[in-house]
Amino acid sequence: MFPCLKTRNKGLNSLFRRENCKEMRMTGYLTTHVLDTARGCPAAGIKIELYRIIGETREHLKTLHTNDDGRTDEQILPESEFASGTYELVFYAGAYLDATGVAKEEPRFLDVVPLQFGMSEAAHYHVPLLLSPFGYSTYRGS
């Protein structure tokens, strides 16, 4: 989590000694948060699937749903399962948008939102989805 470094504080210097750095190494994990930007609230009940992408192969790892806070009750990819590579989160937003009454047209403008991204090092990867009936955005959060 912290690089080995030298500070002006002698107490911190002992904490950051090279031999202590191994113990402080952060392990990787993945989380998300879905926010309904049209209504200004968390998006509850959205089905999310996680896939690992290896070449042309898409391996399904897990299916979860967002809770009342727009998050999942557990880490999407916990520390024990973390591996660097390419992943895809698939958000099934259409049913949520229908249920909220925000978008009722057929066919839906937005239905399934796939986000493909890479995780290269053991760290916390937070991939939020900001959702509205006619658009979405994402970023690497913290």
pLDDT tens, residue by residue, 24-52: 456 899 999 999 999 999 999 999 999 99
Q: 61 lies in a domain?
A: yes
Place of tokens 């493909």: 116
pLDDT digits (tens, 9 = 90+) for 56-77: 999 999 999 999 999 999 999 9
Residue 95 lies in a domain: yes
Domain span at residue 79? 27-138
Domains of the chain: total: 1
Backbone angles phi, psi at 33, to 5 degrees: -155, 125
Q: Is residue 55 part of a domain?
A: yes
User: What value does the mean pLDDT take over residues 80-93?
Assistant: 96
Ramachandran quadrant class, 101 (left: phi over 0; alpha: psi -120 to 50; beta: rest): left
33 assigned ligand-binding residue: yes
- The answer, as to whether pTM is greater than 0.75, is yes
CATH number at residue 89: 2.60.40.180
Residue 108 to residues 38, 39, 94, 98: CA-CA distances in angstroms? 16, 18, 7, 9
Q: Does 7 fall in a domain?
A: no
**Is 12 part of a structural domain of the chain?**
no
List the beta bridge partners of residue 86. Answer: 53, 118
In a domain, 5, yes or no: no
Q: Is residue 50 part of a domain?
A: yes
- On whether 139 is known to bind a ligand per the annotation, the reply is yes
